Chain A
Amino acid sequence: MRLSQDDTIAAISTPAASSMAAIVRLSGNEALPIAQSLISGSQEALPTPSKNKRTGHGCKPLTWSVSFCHLSISMAGYSVRVPAYVMFFAAPKSYTRQDMVEFIVPGNEPIATAVLKQCLQSGARAAYAGEFTLRAFLSGRIDLAQAEAVEQIIHAANQQERIAALQRLQDDIPTSIRTWRDQLIAIAAQIEATLDFHEEELDHNLTKSFLTELNTLSQNCHHITSKTKHQKSQEQGIPVVLAGLTNAGKSSLLNSLLGEDAAIVSSENSTTRDRLSYSLQLGRFLFRLEDSPGADNSLMQSNQGTVFTEGIHKGAYRGGTFVCLVIDRSRLSSDVLQLKSFIQNLPLCRILPILNKSEIASGDLNEINDCLKSIFIDRQDLTVVTPLEISCKTGWGIKELKERLIAEAIGNESLTDHGILTLREAEELRQASDHCQEASTLLEEGMDLELIAEELRHAHEAFSRAIGDCYAENVLDAIFSRFCIGK
């Protein structure tokens, strides 16, 4: 990533959706003049440079201001006047410790975009994702952990997470990591003492207890990382299988979710010949949507059924794969038998029945429920969650589906007393776990102690990267506080 802080960056910092207001943000030395160039007429909406702190003489430096003005914006070839609040924060008392300007404009996406474009034309550079926070970090406004916490708050999916993230913003590394690190140091110290003081030897009982401790340590680290969201989302995303009969609208649903033509959609049967998967970021979760070929009875009996089952199998994860069973609501009653035989082949999974094409179908809710009941009657072992009605054509219900997916993902991760681990920490702990495991294996095989020490050093480095200490001093401190060692 470019680390330059010298230019002025701009971005829309509110979601690209219709709302009450949208915010366009500027940060950098040129923020003030660029903002000024957007303001129409001779309105004194912003402090003139002479009032600015850096050039001011004797007068009290201005740290912030808010005023109302009109922006002259060019939209689709027309020059328009957009009402806006303009907020100014003078360096260094701003989030980035640079001069910052925020325009609060009507929450209409084209308007916000036009304002941003105007800023870019006036000399600002489009900010990279997270670049405001990066500048806050680089200017020392916030530290790394806080920067990560900001990221987490932004992507927090529920209240519980927001609280955990906010706690992180205030300090601190989960205490369990420190405890484990200290346990590791204790073992490393004993081994290093054996290496650095030649009259020392590691006795059999100690070796045995180290084996147990290292295995526990490795498992603990492994446990916490596999419990957090990151390992899954880091790899390929949380798997979600889109299943259903041919032409129920799986591919259309996929497109609605992804917002682009990701799969070839047609009304002819089985245009989706191969199982495909797509990434979908919702909040802080990354999902892997697995599209599968349409299944009908004839195909089910041939090889297609196997392909589908394999799809389920491949996507399997703890607690059963989440399957979105897309059903054509307009044909629900006539498809019951086919669906019933379709689900016979499913492995254990959680199923969300999605009733598509609700724009052309009307039907009695009881009737729908009866149909669904008879579909699942032979598979009581499957978990079927509350059905959802959508329309891919009109986009109705898609938002709710996304929320349901997020809820599903949250349900699958258990936030422990360890709090939220950042992606970075989870990765470090995974490495620490591997090195502890390797150390234990080497110890058991009777390999050279210095190689075991090497693994422990790597494990410790991994812990330390999460916490921030140095190895030699830690270990030597431990050696000298615990052992009386001669010459």
Chain B
Amino acid sequence: MNDSSTPYIKNAIRAADVVIIGAGHAGCEAALAIARLGCDALLITMALDTVAQMSCNPAIGGLAKGQLVREIDAMGGAMALATDATGIQFRMLNSSKGPAVQSPRAQADKWAYQHWMKRFLETSPGVRMLQDRVVEIVTENERVVGVRTAIGLEIACKAVVVCTGTFPRGKTHIGSHQAPGGRFGEPAAEEISGSLTTLGLPLMRLKTGTCPRVLSSSLDYDRMTIQPGDESPVPFSFLTRKLEVEQVPCYATWTTPETQQMVADILESTPLFNGQIEGVGPRYCPSFELKVARFPDKDKHHIFVEPEGRYTEEVYLNGLATSIDPEAQVKMVHSIPGLEKAEFMRFGYAVEYDAICPSALRDTLETKKIAGLYCAGQMNGTSGYEEAGAQGLIAGINAALAVQQRPPFRLRRDQAYIGVLVDDLVTRGTNEPYRLFTSRAEYRLLLRQDNADLRLTPVAKELGLVDDARAERAERLQKEVDDAVATAAKLFHEGKTIAQHLRNPKMEWTDVLPMAGGWAAGLSERVAEQLRIACRYDGYLQRNLAQIKRVDKSLHLRITDTFDYDLVQGLSNEAREKLKKIRPETLGQASKISGVSPADLAILSVRLSSLQGKFAAAENTSETFTETDR
């Protein structure tokens, strides 16, 4: 830390439009989006050797997460391209279920992934990278003007995106061993929390955990079930035409009653239960000791053995996240079939870290308090590389748009999982690491991984995030799909249209092909897929679309930052307090705050409408009151 008497070095690094703090999955997407929009992005990381590090399991995608990666890709992001380039196993999950709940997932070679991403950043015009640690965000009049670093640099900028992951005051735990660190063996970012607190931003303490890594050659794979990749792997990116990859299998095994028993025996003395760890962990990805505590009757849990890379013997024991002491970890792993002689390479550990309460954020991921200060990723209380990347994209886009003095960008819940994610975070907040699920999306049938480019590439083009060629491709595809759907509704076979035949879930595409003559056979694979889904979900998609139209327009009424809830007669005290604290940006957001009743909303809506009317009449341009969501 720079001594306060020493002046900061202002001329070593030239000013940037936007400084991104942290080069994890959020930081990378943020920097790339900022650069794509034509701004100058400076990505500052504590370690250039761990850019886009997969701290936890070596995989990208999964249910709902795969959809996010596709959406990031459709808007020009890098995550999908990196996965296609460095993946070693590709699977389409839920392939036996309907298209809306299918998601791509890939095991990546985690070192190859990092190197690919680092090089991609290095070669992206508009992105600069710097190894240093940001210790302070400099503001003037509650507006970002620069950052200061550990070695004493002061770099001017117009906006900052904080993507510090688990590093702010990070603390790792293995049994009774505790050490400062954002990942095990790496230092923590001790100063940034203080800087954020000084700026008046509310922080909370969260926790997450990782699984042990062991030596592959010490495992008995004969006692496990092999999980190969898909025969014809589907790429993540809409730009990747075909994957030519030699796939590496994963293996599945189960914990035993002995595993359960031995962990149950030591439960009280583990860091999670003896009070050593205070942060709140994720419910959906509980550590193994938590599973034992919460489901004492379940005597077996699935464990997946996943390779960390193509050229390493290190494998990840997915399903065994833990922070129990090393001796117990070894005993626990050795009680599992196939892992009896596992040689430990890295112990599982828990990490506690500071995160910002997401209700302090706008739906642009800018803090409500400090103009030009954006946050993304685990910093915002989420978990998952994909959730982080998606937020990085949104925060980066909005930081760049703000620098360029363009209107902010938002995705609605009916447009993208990214919209669901951001809306859930900033309106409901979270008190545990948040993960996306398909069940969080009320328009799940519309928001599919297979149509992310059709949904979002046109939007991205309008912003200038993707090039014309890509946008035209999406437009052309959309037109072909529309034509195909129209044709299928007109072509008859045995008294039914092709569309009607396709509605029947038992009808295979190969059954339908001969019915439609040469027409269907001439469709490209993507058009045929969209046609099949459009027919299969037909009535439901129509209903969803109708529902979107029906959503009360008043929910889009925007509430200004200066709106005075004390002047609104009749709000319940609880609602008034919560509204003042959370300061929702729209009536729709207000409607999701617990404690705000329909009566409170009716009152607010009357007040907002009358304000809107008055302002519209007075000046006709009062953006804050008349602007509705796109």
Chain A interface residues (CB < 8 Å from chain B): 3-6, 92, 97, 137-144, 192, 194-199, 446-451, 453-454, 457, 468, 470-473, 475-476, 480, 484-487
Contacts and interface: CB of A to CB of B under 8 A. Distances in A.
A137 B444 CA distance: 35
Interface of B: 57, 62-64, 93-94, 97-98, 100-101, 103, 283-286, 291, 294-295, 298, 301-302, 304, 318-319, 424, 428, 437-440, 442, 444-445, 505, 536-537, 540, 569-572, 592, 597-600, 602-603, 606, 609-610
Contacts of A451: 98, 445, 537, 540
Nearest to A485: B284
A92 B536 CA distance: 57
Given A450-B100, A486-B302, A486-B318, 11 more contacts: A97-B570, A143-B599, A195-B101, A198-B63, A449-B101, A450-B444, A451-B98, A468-B597, A473-B428, A487-B62, A487-B304
A447 B100 CA distance: 13
Contact of A5 (B57, B597, B606): B606
A144 B603 CA distance: 12
Majority DSSP secondary structure for residues of A touching B = loop
Contacts of A195: 63, 94, 97, 101, 438-439
19 contacts: A140-B571, A140-B599, A141-B570, A144-B597, A195-B94, A195-B97, A196-B101, A196-B439, A197-B63, A448-B98, A449-B98, A450-B98, A453-B444, A457-B442, A484-B301, A485-B284, A486-B304, A487-B62, A487-B285
B295 A139 contact: no
Contact of A198 (B94, B98, B445, B610): B94
B163 to A, nearest CB: 24
A143 B603 contact: no
Contacts of B599: 137-138, 140, 142-144
- Rank and list the top 9 A-B pairs by shortest CB-CB distance, nearest first: A140-B570, A448-B98, A139-B570, A484-B295, A198-B93, A192-B439, A480-B283, A195-B101, A450-B98
Given A457-B442, A472-B439, A476-B437, A139 B569 contact: yes
Contacts of B609: 3
A192 B438 CA distance: 8
B302 A447 contact: no
Contacts of A192: 437-439
Given A141-B570, A143-B599, A196 B437 contact: yes
A192 B97 CA distance: 12
A28 to B, nearest CB: 13
Nearest to A445: B505
Which of A139, A142, A198, A448 is the most central at the interface, judged by chain B CB atoms within 10 Å of its CB? A198
A153 to B, nearest CB: 18
B64 A196 contact: yes
A457 B441 CA distance: 11
Contacts of A92: 569
Which of B64, B439, B444, B540 is the most central at the interface, judged by chain A CB atoms within 10 Å of its CB? B439
A476 B98 contact: no
Nearest to A473: B428
Nearest to B592: A470
Given A450-B444, A454-B445, A476 B570 contact: no
Nearest to A4: B610
B171 to A, nearest CB: 24
Contacts of A199: 302
Nearest to B506: A446
A140 to B, nearest CB: 3
A127 to B, nearest CB: 17
B603 A139 contact: yes
Contacts of B318: 486-487
Given A144-B598, A195-B438, A450 B101 contact: yes
Contact of A468 (B97, B536, B598): B598
A459 to B, nearest CB: 13
B97 A137 contact: no
Nearest to A483: B295
B440 to A, nearest CB: 5
Nearest to B295: A484
Contact of A138 (B100, B302, B603): B603
B584 to A, nearest CB: 15
Contacts of A5: 606
A426 B88 CA distance: 56
